[in-house]
Copies of this chain bind each other. A is one copy, B any other.
């Protein structure tokens, strides 16, 4: 018997966000120096021991947030930093999150041309792939024929891609804000993404191509929301990078869908924040839960996400 084909990623994301009643995306960015004392084996650990600590830590975060949010985003860089052992921890983390019912967006910002892009896409996209992510972040500099292989594979695998459009870093505008033919580079990229999203729109109205749109640029979020009605936004920059719920409000559609808002360090290392320090290192998972609930409350209070059922 053939297994049932899953719903398109955009649809599964919409259903999961509505079920959870919030648009919080928890970033899994493990850093060895910030792990709770009870996780990992001290500063002299080998990459293999550090990787085991990352996997244990991410399982602990996932156990907490799987009850609260729809989606997590492992950051490939921190796992890659530990070499092949780190990559095994990444694979284990993706699998564990899926088993707990979470959607998984791998933040790898991959890009290449032709059959090389296809190799990345086939490796990462879809639950049947070797890494098993539901979606992958990709970078657009190489142009349409570098993005199409990701789009084509995502279509076959009921998965998604999030293309960098307007990023959250202070220097993101160096190239992205350059104006050509009367509009910014990020707007050129946005037009490509929205075209793909329109062509692949699921019943929820959103397509398989999403856009990374930084929370630190509220005006551009509003501009892009209007330009890209079929595109899911992945919004980085909340919390640690300084953006507030009001800053990200413009990234949502009026019904509270259309955007997922990432927070990484402020949630997973909440035990290091003064306001949650009373939990102590031993109860670090309670700090994760409290920080996640706080962000959910902030977004529901000050953005259209308050209209999502809960």
Contacts and interface: CB of A to CB of B under 8 A. Distances in A.
Interface string A100-114: 000000010111111
Given A141-B140, A145-B171, A164-B142, A81 B179 contact: no
Contacts of A112: 75, 77, 107, 109
Contact of A144 (B47, B75, B171, B192): B171
Contacts of A173: 143
Contacts of A110: 77, 109
A82 B129 CA distance: 9
Copies in the complex: 2
Interface stretch (A37-45, A154-162, A180-188, A283-291): A180-188
Q: Dominant SS at the A interface?
A: helix
A164 B139 CA distance: 12
Interface in A22-39: 29, 31
Contact of A139 (B109, B115, B124): B109
Contact of A87 (B29, B87, B109, B114): B87
Interface in A106-130: 107, 109-117, 119-120, 122-124, 130
Given A167-B113, A171-B146, A47 B130 contact: yes
A175 B80 contact: no
Q: How large is the interface on A (under 10, 10 to 19, 20 to 34, 35 or more residues)?
A: 35 or more
A45 to B, nearest CB: 13
Contact of A164 (B114, B124, B141): B141
Contact of A119 (B81, B130, B164): B81
B116 A75 contact: yes
A6 interface: no
A178 interface: yes
Nearest to A148: B171
Contacts of A88: 84
A277 B29 CA distance: 49
A131 B86 CA distance: 11
A168 B180 CA distance: 22
Interface of A: 29, 31, 47, 75, 77-78, 80-84, 86-88, 90-91, 107, 109-117, 119-120, 122-124, 130-131, 139-146, 164, 167-176, 178-181, 185, 188-189, 192
- Pairs of residues from A and B, 5 with the lowest C-beta to C-beta distance, nearest first: A145-B171, A83-B130, A143-B174, A178-B180, A81-B123
